């Protein structure tokens, strides 16, 4: 997959990000557990998950966050940076045998100092409806108007106040 670089000037409010599908098989959830190191049995063992009151084994927060990141990254390109995730509320279990679809659109864009931000409104759906979010991923993008494409130059100037 070639990720196209996007520039801040080209982003339009309302522009949709490409939807991404994640079918959830047992194999995938087992691989995810091994990869993200969350070995809580609710995420890879149906009987255990049902004992806890869940309908079946289900995707964990790390895997679900990864779905949002993959969708955002394909939209923003390699020179964009991800600065925050908000309202990542998990409302419905994303259980094995279902397919999670991540969707979103550009909700706002602004510039602060020498950085250019875009907010993406983003959510996950499964067969039962919206399962995660809607939330927000705030990203930075390079501009065509003279700022460097080098991501590291955007990090030091991140303008959200660092909590004390």
- For residue 67, state whether it binds other proteins (rule: CB under 8 A): yes
Q: Which stretch binds other proteins (CB under 8 A): 6-14, 78-86, 107-115, 117-125?
A: 78-86
Q: Across the strands, what pairs with 139?
A: 82, 118
Residue 21 interacts with other proteins (CB under 8 A): yes or no? no
123 binds other proteins (CB under 8 A): no
**Cβ nearer to other proteins, comparing 61 with 145:** 61
Token code pair at residue 32: 């995810």
Among 9, 78, 112, 114, binds other proteins (CB under 8 A): 78
- Tell me which of 61, 112, 128, 144 binds other proteins, using CB under 8 A: 61
Q: In the window 33-52, what residues touch other proteins (CB under 8 A)? A: 34-42, 45, 47-48, 51-52
Q: What is the largest CA-CA distance in the chain?
A: 58
Nearer to other proteins, 11 or 54 (CB): 54
Give the nearer residue to other proteins in terms of CB position, either 2 or 12.
2
Compute the distance between CA of residue 27 and CA of residue 96 in angstroms, rounded to an integer. 10
CA 46 to chain centre: 26
23 binds other proteins (CB under 8 A): no
| Secondary element (H or E) of residue 133 | strand 129-140
Q: Considering CB under 8 A, how many residues would be counted as binding other proteins?
A: 57
Residue 65 CA to residue 83 CA, distance in Å, equals 14
Q: Which of 143, 145, 147 is nearest to 11 (CA)?
A: 143
Q: What is the DSSP string of 67-121?
A: HHHHHHHHHH-TT-EEEEEE---B-S--BTT-EEEEEEEEEEEEEETTEEEEEEE
Binding positions for other proteins, rule: CB under 8 A: 1, 3, 22, 28-29, 31-32, 34-42, 45, 47-48, 51-54, 60-63, 65-70, 73, 78-79, 81-90, 148-153, 155, 158, 160, 162-163
């Amino acid at each position: 997959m070639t990720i196209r670089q996007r520039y801040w000037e080209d982003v339009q409010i309302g522009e949709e990000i490409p939807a991404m599908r994640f079918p959830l098989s047992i194999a995938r959830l087992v691989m995810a557990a091994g990869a993200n190191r969350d070995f809580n049995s609710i995420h890879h063992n149906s009987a255990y998950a049902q004992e806890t009151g869940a309908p079946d084994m289900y995707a964990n927060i790390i895997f679900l966050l990864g779905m949002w990141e993959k969708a955002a990254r394909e939209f923003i390109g390699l020179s964009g940076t991800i600065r925050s995730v908000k309202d990542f509320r998990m409302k419905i279990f994303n259980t094995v045998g279902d397919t999670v679809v991540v969707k979103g659109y550009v909700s706002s864009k602004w510039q602060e100092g020498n950085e250019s931000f875009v907010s993406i409104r983003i959510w996950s759906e499964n067969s039962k409806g919206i399962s995660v979010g809607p939330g927000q991923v705030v990203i930075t993008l390079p501009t065509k108007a003279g700022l460097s494409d080098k991501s590291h130059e955007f990090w030091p100037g991140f303008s959200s106040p660092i909590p004390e």
